[in-house]
Amino acid sequence: MSMWNNLNTKMFSTYVCLGEDEIDDEFLNKAGVKRKKKAEENVLAPITCARCHYLNAAGMAFCGKCGWALTDEAIASVESASSAI
């Protein structure tokens, strides 16, 4: 039992040396959990068309029903294309 106590003490001191964010990442990695980044969540989320409210699949740049630009990139491309004409 004393061997396990020593091991735990060493692990604890290792965590103390790390910053708070690093502790969380280390803990989640060892627990097999990976943090989801906000950008990834946005990509996976369905996109509701602002014009016709059609629910588009994740990753769509334009509405599948009315063709409205759904992402900032698509909107920018449409605006740059229309301003070029």
Q: Tell which one of 23, 25, 61, 68 touches Zn ion (CB under 5 A).
A: 68
Q: Residue 14 is encoded by which pair of tokens?
A: 């290792």
Binding to Zn ion by residue 63, rule CB under 5 A? yes
Stretch near Zn ion under the rule CB under 5 A, chosen from 10-18, 22-30, 41-49, 75-83: 41-49
Distance CA 50, CA 35 (A): 30
Residues 6+ positions from 23 with CB-CB distance below 8 Å: 15
Binding to Zn ion by residue 35, rule CB under 5 A? no
Instruction: Give the dihedral sign, CA 43/45/46/52.
Output: negative
Binding to Zn ion by residue 50, rule CB under 5 A? no
Q: Tell which one of 18, 43, 44, 66 touches Zn ion (CB under 5 A).
A: 66
Nearer to Zn ion by C-beta: 35 or 65? 65
